């Protein structure tokens, strides 16, 4: 059901019975996503046993592109998102990802890379994300799934950096980036419970998760071929 907050903005509040059903759906979707995500994260874990490929500056530039792309995406979604709780979630995500961009940029500068020469790249995954128009699709993609991908692949990247003795990059990810990625993903879970309140919306969320994981797998496979390793960071 729809009500209004004290500012007069519309918010969606599931009825008690509906909330229970939606929570069950989100739990099942989380399990399905985790199962589908395993091969993508596993590829990076397997790569850790290979001879290290790609230097730190090359791999961190991937992170730099992802961070700014996600920040811009969340910011672009804000004006056309009517639900205040979701609008604010995207605002938080945009700000956090911009902060991650700056952290990675500072680390690259310390490693001798001139970030003024950096040009963000685009790919089919972000093109798909920008095409999403409904609130449930955007929650399922930008918060619930994309941030889960990021958290999983970043754990592998941290292990690679630790193996190489790059303690500072590990610290940045462990203390700042990873806690935010986890928080974004959990926020996506809560928002899906609140907004995926019909069978049609649930199916739309599931379809979006599946499509994004498919595109992420293809995008990361192409990047791995170019970089020489599947162990590189997400957003």
The CA R_g of the chain, rounded to the nearest whole Å, is 18
pLDDT of residue 35: 96
Task: Report DSSP state, residue 52.
Answer: P
pTM, two decimal places: 0.89
Largest CA distance in the chain: 58
Least confident piece of the model among 44-48, 86-90, 130-134, 160-164: 44-48
What residues have CB less than 8 Å from 79, skipping those under 6 apart? none
178: tokens are: 């990873």
Compute CA distances 7 → 10, 11, 84, 195, whole Å.
Answer: 9, 11, 10, 20
Q: Is residue 57 part of a domain?
A: no
Higher pLDDT, 102 or 23: 102
Contacts of 59 (CB under 8 A, 6+ apart): 157, 160, 227, 229, 232, 233
The answer to the question of residue 12 being in a domain is no
Which range has the worst mean pLDDT, 14-18, 52-56, 136-140, 174-178? 14-18
E-only strand ranges, 29-186: none
User: Rounded to whole angstroms, how far apart are CA atoms 33 and 205?
Assistant: 11
Could you tell me if residue 220 is inside a domain?
A: yes
Q: Taking Cα atoms as reference points, which of 79, 89, 80, 72 lies closest to residue 190?
A: 89
Task: For residue 134, tell me if it sits in a domain.
Answer: yes
- Residue 65 in domain: no
Tens-digit pLDDT profile for residues 106-157? 999 999 999 999 998 899 999 999 999 999 999 999 999 999 999 999 999 9
Mean pLDDT of 169-195: 97
Domain coverage including residue 166 = 21-44+77-227
Give me the sign of the Cα torsion angle 197, 198, 202, 205: negative
List of residues 6+ apart from 207 with CB closer than 8 A: none
pLDDT of residue 167: 97
Higher-confidence residue: 4 or 168?
168
Question: Residue 108's domain is classified under what CATH number?
Answer: 1.20.910
Number of domains present in the structure of the chain: 1
Q: Give the DSSP H/E element, type plus range, for residue 94.
A: helix 84-110
What is the average pLDDT score of the chain? 91
Strand partners, 2: 12
CA dihedral 143, 149, 152, 158 (to 10 degrees): -100
At residue 166, the pLDDT reads 94
| Average pLDDT over every residue of 194-221 | 96
pLDDT at 94 over 80: yes
From 233, 223, 220, 115, select the one nearest 169 (Cα to Cα). Answer: 233
Residue 81: inside a domain = yes
Residue 232 resides in a domain? no
Crossing angle (nearest 10°) for helices 178-195 and 84-110: 160
Instruction: Look at residue 98 in the predicted model and tell me its pLDDT.
Output: 98
**pLDDT-based confidence at residue 14 (cuts at 50, 70, 90):** low
Domain-embedded: residue 9: no
Q: How confident is the model at residue 2 (pLDDT cuts 50, 70, 90)?
A: very low
Say which DSSP state 116 is in.
G
Closest CA to 159 of 142, 178, 143: 178
């Amino acid at each position: 059901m729809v009500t209004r907050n004290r500012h007069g903005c519309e918010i969606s509040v599931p009825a008690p019975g509906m909330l229970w059903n939606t929570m069950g759906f989100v739990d099942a979707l989380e399990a399905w996503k985790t199962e589908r995500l395993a091969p993508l994260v596993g590829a990076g874990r397997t790569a850790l046993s290979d001879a290290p490929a790609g230097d730190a500056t090359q791999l961190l530039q991937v992170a730099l592109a992802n961070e700014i792309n996600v920040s811009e995406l969340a910011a672009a979604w804000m004006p056309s998102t009517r639900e205040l709780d979701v609008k604010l979630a995207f605002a938080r995500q945009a700000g956090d990802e911009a902060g991650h961009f700056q952290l990675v940029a500072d680390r690259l500068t310390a490693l001798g890379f001139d970030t003024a020469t950096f040009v963000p790249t685009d790919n089919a995954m972000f093109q798909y994300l920008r095409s999403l128009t409904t609130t449930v699709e955007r929650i399922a993609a930008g918060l619930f799934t994309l941030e889960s991908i990021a958290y999983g692949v970043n754990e592998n990247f941290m292990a690679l950096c630790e193996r190489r003795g790059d303690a500072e990059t590990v610290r940045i990810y462990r203390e700042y980036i990873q806690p935010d990625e986890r928080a974004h993903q959990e926020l996506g879970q809560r928002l899906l419970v609140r907004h995926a309140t019909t069978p049609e919306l649930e199916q739309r969320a599931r379809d979006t998760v599946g499509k994004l994981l498919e595109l992420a797998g293809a995008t990361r496979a192409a990047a791995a071929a170019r970089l020489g390793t599947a162990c590189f960071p997400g957003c």
